[in-house]
Amino acid sequence: MAAPNEITCKQLLRLIGLPDAPVIVDICIDDDFADDPHLIPGSIKHPHTDIDGLILRLDGRPCVVSCQKGLKLSQGLTSHLRARGIDAQYLSGGMYGWRDTEDAPRLPFAALPASNLWVTRHRPKIDRIACPWLIRRFVNPQAEFMFVAPDQVAGVAERFGATPFDIPDVALTHKGDHCTFDAMLDLFELRTAPLDRLAQVVRAADTGRDDMAQAAGLLAVSVGLSRMYRDDHAQLDAALPLYDALYRWARDGVKETHASMQDTP
């Protein structure tokens, strides 16, 4: 019988990428993590001994605790958190179980920037909105973004320790017919079927090949949002639900058509 505070890898996989996903707390000890330095997308690393610090980081949000095997560390910390009023679950099977789960992506820890800060050109439309969505939902939910004049991105990145993206001569930018969204999927090893499908839409809309119905629609809505908001951060906040919806279409809804939505007599 499953424990009342347990979540399976398959159940967690369905939550990752959603705006209300729980915080995933990786508490693998250093030796275990060194053997396999990967994270579940969106995870934070935290020592199991620092419960007060973790409660501050959670700020009242529900969480899933993961250790190497889903045994003493994660079950003990989960119970401790629940005793302190935190909605916590432990991941059944831990990182071993996640590694064996089909289609479950794993972030290479070495690819993660040291800072929460990212910087790109101002007045975003498609790629520079899609990329922050991907980072917030799958890489670092606490990521912050700066939008500055194109010729200032490199200088801002250096002064503030931010990661630059979608400008020439940086790692995360257009390569051939692929856009920056593709570069991020490759760097963070997030090439899942739904995200690949979403990348196809972003790529087509961002590079002018909007022959896909979804890409043409994304371009139209993105242009509209850029005219509705003068402030780039307000525009980002308004656009994130658009990409949440596109992700759910890419994950669950591609087979649904207008005809299939009609009520049958």
Closest CA to 139 of 67, 199, 188: 188
- What are the tens digits of pLDDT across the range 122-155? 999 999 999 999 999 999 999 999 999 999 999 9
- Out of 46-50, 62-66, 201-205, 252-256, which region has the weakest mean confidence (pLDDT)? 252-256
pLDDT (0 to 100) of residue 213: 84
- In angstroms, what CA-CA distances link 141 with 18, 71, 106, 195? 11, 26, 16, 17
Average pLDDT of the segment spanning 257-264:
64
Say whether both 143 and 57 belong to one domain.
no
Asked if pLDDT for residue 1 goes beyond 60, the answer is no
Among 80, 106, 132, the domain-final residue is: 106
Asked if pLDDT for residue 259 goes beyond 80, the answer is no
Among 90, 106, 122, the domain-final residue is: 106
Domains in the chain, number: 2
5 exposure class (CB count in 10 Å sphere: 0-12, 13-18, 19+):
middle
107 exposure class (CB count in 10 Å sphere: 0-12, 13-18, 19+):
buried
Asked if pLDDT for residue 260 goes beyond 80, the answer is no
- What are the tens digits of pLDDT across the range 13-62? 999 999 999 999 999 999 999 999 999 999 999 999 999 999 999 999 99
pLDDT (0 to 100) of residue 264: 45
Identify whether the C-beta of residue 9 lies closer than 8 Å to the C-beta of residue 97: yes
pLDDT (0 to 100) of residue 204: 94
Closest CA to 25 of 83, 100, 86: 86
Closest CA to 213 of 241, 184, 254, 252: 254
Distance CA 55, CA 69 (A): 23
Say whether both 126 and 241 belong to one domain.
yes
Say whether both 132 and 68 belong to one domain.
no
Q: Per 3-state DSSP, what percentage of the chain is helix, strand, and coil (rounded to 5)?
A: 50, 15, 40
Say whether both 181 and 145 belong to one domain.
yes
Asked if pLDDT for residue 192 goes beyond 90, the answer is yes
CATH number assigned to the domain comprising residue 49: 3.40.250.10
Distance CA 232, CA 145 (A): 10
On whether residue 265 sits in a domain, the answer given is no
Asked if pLDDT for residue 188 goes beyond 90, the answer is yes
Distance CA 39, CA 34 (A): 12
Banded pLDDT at 210 (limits 50, 70, 90): low
Pairing type for strands 38-39 and 107-108 reads antiparallel
pLDDT (0 to 100) of residue 207: 87
Pairing type for strands 144-148 and 163-164 reads unpaired
Pairing type for strands 6-7 and 107-108 reads unpaired
List, in order, residues 6 or more apart from 26 with CB less than 8 Å away.
33, 39, 40, 43, 44, 45, 46, 66, 67, 95
Domain with 10 in it: 6-106
On whether residue 137 sits in a domain, the answer given is yes
Distance CA 116, CA 41 (A): 15
Say whether both 72 and 178 belong to one domain.
no
- What are the tens digits of pLDDT across the range 84-135? 999 999 999 999 999 999 999 999 999 999 999 999 999 999 999 999 999 9
Say whether both 20 and 147 belong to one domain.
no
As a whole number, the mean pLDDT across the chain is: 95
Question: What are the residue ranges of helices labelled H in the chain?
Answer: 9-15, 30-35, 51-58, 72-83, 94-99, 127-134, 153-160, 180-187, 193-206, 213-228, 232-248, 258-261
On whether residue 27 sits in a domain, the answer given is yes
